[in-house]
Amino acid sequence: MQNEKTVCWINGKMVAPEDAVVSVFDHGLLYGDGVFEGIRYYNQKAFRLSEHLQRLRDSAMVLNINLRYSEAALGRAINELILESRQQQGYIRLIVTRGVGSLGIDPVTCQEPTVILIASPLSLLAADKRQQGIRVMLSGVRRIPVDVLDPRVKSLNYLNNVLAKMQANAAGMDEAIMLNASGNITEGSADNVFLVKNDMLLTPEVSSGALAGITRHLVICLARDHGIEVIESRLTPYDLYTSDECFLTGTGVELIPIAEIDGRKVNTCPGTMFRLIEAAFQKTIMEET
């Protein structure tokens, strides 16, 4: 839903939200052919911008989409958008589609990519749930296999994530965690999964189907900086159910503790390790923005 504080930029021009439109022949709309990034800004400065822009470029390269703009040019456009928003903090969605083409899946008809920036306030979770933890379930919707689409590509194809979120909504849960075809944990509908066991921090490996999240990488670095052993491996529902702590990470949600998984209470929520890493995360935001 459009917010009065939302500002948009399309193909090099700032536009009012009500005028922010794309062609019905854009292959991003017709086929989900494109890539995107979600970027947070704090104190009117984009957080971890270079990492997001590098991932965008890598995703576009895999799909053979020419970005049109350099990372420096996109950075300037994002900074301009943040100033235009007049908000101290918010969320930016950066979208690059294959562009306008004919009706037909062949991308050769698309001459020029469409590049879109949207800045808007973001509030995904109530304060009490951030403090007390959320309830999650294992979804029956499987993650796209890694031999079909590499999870490092952040594409516009999020249908299985949407279906998993719908399943959580229908069950009265806050989030759904998806498994891969082998029954291993991958990620939530829009976030990475971490668990604590015997003072070690564990997270699904990217090759299991987890997105190589920017916040995920930062959490791993912060944990290691504090002397915590971090293991990226194949994890199963058993590992979640028997964990000492469990939490989710993502650009939008930041860090969220999990209180319950499939009706099973997590041993500690929020736990000691979560509190330590969350404090270090907030400190990093303050230092970098």
Question: What are the 10-residue block averages of pLDDT along the chain, 289 residues in total?
Answer: 78 94 97 97 97 97 95 96 94 97 95 96 82 96 93 94 97 97 96 98 96 97 98 98 98 96 97 98 97
| pLDDT at residue 127, as a whole number | 83
Closest by CA position to 260, among listed 238, 240, 231: 240
Overall CATH class of domain 7-120: alpha beta
Main-chain phi, psi angles of 146, to 5 degrees: -70, -20
| pLDDT at residue 159, as a whole number | 95
Beta strands in the chain (DSSP E): 7-10, 13-15, 34-42, 45-46, 90-97, 114-120, 134-138, 175-179, 185-188, 192-197, 200-204, 230-233, 245-250, 254-261, 264-265
Residues designated catalytic: 154
Strand order in the sheet with 45-46: 13-15, 7-10, 114-120, 90-97, 34-42, 45-46
What stretch(es) of the chain map to CATH 3.30.470.10?
7-120
What stretch(es) of the chain map to CATH 3.20.10.10?
127-288
Beta strands in 58-103 (DSSP E): 90-97
pTM of the model: 0.94
| pLDDT at residue 1, as a whole number | 47
Overall CATH class of domain 127-288: alpha beta
Fill in the DSSP letter of residue 260: E
Residue 6, token pair as written in the block: 């939302």
> How far is residue 260 from each of residues 120, 136, 224, 227, 245, measured CA to CA in Å?
31, 6, 26, 27, 10
| pLDDT at residue 2, as a whole number | 53
